[in-house]
Structure 1
């Protein structure tokens, strides 16, 4: 398939309203009142409305809590932070790469916001670790994505697809990269998120779980937009809307679910309050949800409903009416301007 070229930054001979998301024409001038997909302005507003900074979250109680965690919870904490950083760091660059080839200025702007938020997410992992462990322990956690065999196996396919997009920027590879981005935003993070919310259920590491709630809220919006971008791009390129692509998506979702379950069994074994069978069902439920957002049918008919209902107290509902972030929470959130020693470590 023909490779795309980087979209022109400014071309006044082209129309302001883009003629195509990828491979189309646009002047580069963005008028939000004259875009190809008008409802995306609301998505942009929701994204920018979620602005936050890592050092707004008070981690003082977590410093004490971490010392009192049993060894398996401390180990899981560090491994899961390592996982999240491994996945979020490439998201900043991937969002920027997608925007480089987008010929719709609205997509470029939305992806710029997503890239900025992913950068904040990655910073937050450094911030929470700097609050509770030494620099050596922080560095070990961030090395896991390079040395842990289970994590390397888990991330192999996404590594292949993201790098293939760099090497061969075709519309087909953009579609497949968007599929893997929905997996990241909508499923890969969620066993890790559940671990931190479970700690909060026992009133432990509440600062960290607060941070995760901010990140989770962003990821829900990212997944919503990326799935819409996928469907719109596919509609503009009906020649790619094939049974082969559909089967590719199902195969990679199914494989990703298997790897996520394997990872969760590895990192969450023996954690009080977390049932691994229930977690497996939750992962399948999340996969079903993201497949529906891509316009496809569920892979796991027995997991259409959330089997971990307790987790809804900690996250926004992507399908329902969006409530204020603080409205549905049983915890008190406090912000601080103190960097909790972040600069020192």
Structure 2
């Protein structure tokens, strides 16, 4: 695969294909191949948030009052999130290089910046709760835990293959891996933090998690749209082998995420692991539908953990709330004119 020329007077402003196409390099938002990308661009801008503006003093007090299992699980899962979003920052940078569509490159630039914000938020949370030495230990944890390494390598190997050998085929495969990482691999961890929040514990941390979930939903939408357009531009990729690859990857991802939930949450009060397993399948089905594919799992069409919704709904995520002053400060409200359904 070749990168788009920075300045090409022989190409149209509107790209001819999302990769390996022609594009002048000049971005006119009123003349783009996928017009809804402008809508997404505006939504992503309104999603802007800064971790340091969320006060952590009450969380710092509560952290010492959590039971040993809650504190252990909290640290393990913050460490996991740091690994995932570190990989995502590199992944978005890699993919962005090969878009031959200036609007997609622009949206990817914002997504990459948001991944950096997510990663910084984990450092901010830990710096408010534990010593620098313990923070360093938590950020090293992923290198030594075999269960964590297995799920991380599952994605990292696909990402690395694309970095080493960028082709339309490896581009297809890395988009599948991205939808798994952003759309499935966060969700048992999100459930843990929301479980604390429903007991009024670690509310500032859970608020940041809700912003991260909102961002990741929009990132999933973007890469799902890229995936669908890729199959239009390269119909030769729409093969039985590739569809089998997609479903096998999703099924393995559900298995790995469920294993992670049992490994880290088995002693956490308030979480039913059977329900969480069904919830992960429910999320996986939603990702498949987002890709334009058939669902893989039966009997999970309804969210079996409805207590999560108040913490993750757009109604909460569209507003930045100060828990201590009990007032809201809108960065930007997602509504009918600038939102996306089915996120």
The answer to whether the aligner puts 1:325 opposite 2:325 as a matched pair is no
Give 1:1-345 correspondences, 5 Å limit.
4-316=1-313, 325-326=318-319, 332=326
Q: TM-score by structure 1 length?
A: 0.92
Cα distance change of structure 1 residues 330 and 134 upon mapping to structure 2, 3 Å threshold = closer
CA distance in 1 between partners of 2:317 and 2:260 (Å): 32
1:79-105 residue CA offsets vs partner (Å, 9 max, x unmatched): 000110110011112111111000000
Deviates more, 1:244-253 or 1:9-18: 9-18
Report deviation, 1:136.
1.3
Runs of 4+ in 1 over 6 A off after TM superposition: 327-331
Report deviation, 1:44.
0.8
CA contact (8 A) 1:57 1:334 kept: no
CA distance in 2 between partners of 1:333 and 1:254 (Å): 43
CA distance in 2 between partners of 1:275 and 1:328 (Å): 29
CA contact (8 A) 1:314 1:329 kept: no
CA distance in 2 between partners of 1:6 and 1:228 (Å): 20
Q: Secondary structure at the match of 1:68?
A: coil
Residue in structure 2 matched with residue 338 of structure 1 by the alignment: none
CA distance in 2 between partners of 1:288 and 1:218 (Å): 19
CA RMSD of aligned residues (A): 1.8
Report deviation, 1:267.
0.5
Report the count of equivalent residues.
328
Q: TM-score by structure 2 length?
A: 0.92
1:167-214 residue CA offsets vs partner (Å, 9 max, x unmatched): 110111111111111111111001111111110100110010011011
1:284-332 residue CA offsets vs partner (Å, 9 max, x unmatched): 1111100110111111111121111110101135xxxx78623999995
Q: Secondary structure at the match of 1:103?
A: coil
Cα distance change of structure 1 residues 193 and 324 upon mapping to structure 2, 3 Å threshold = closer
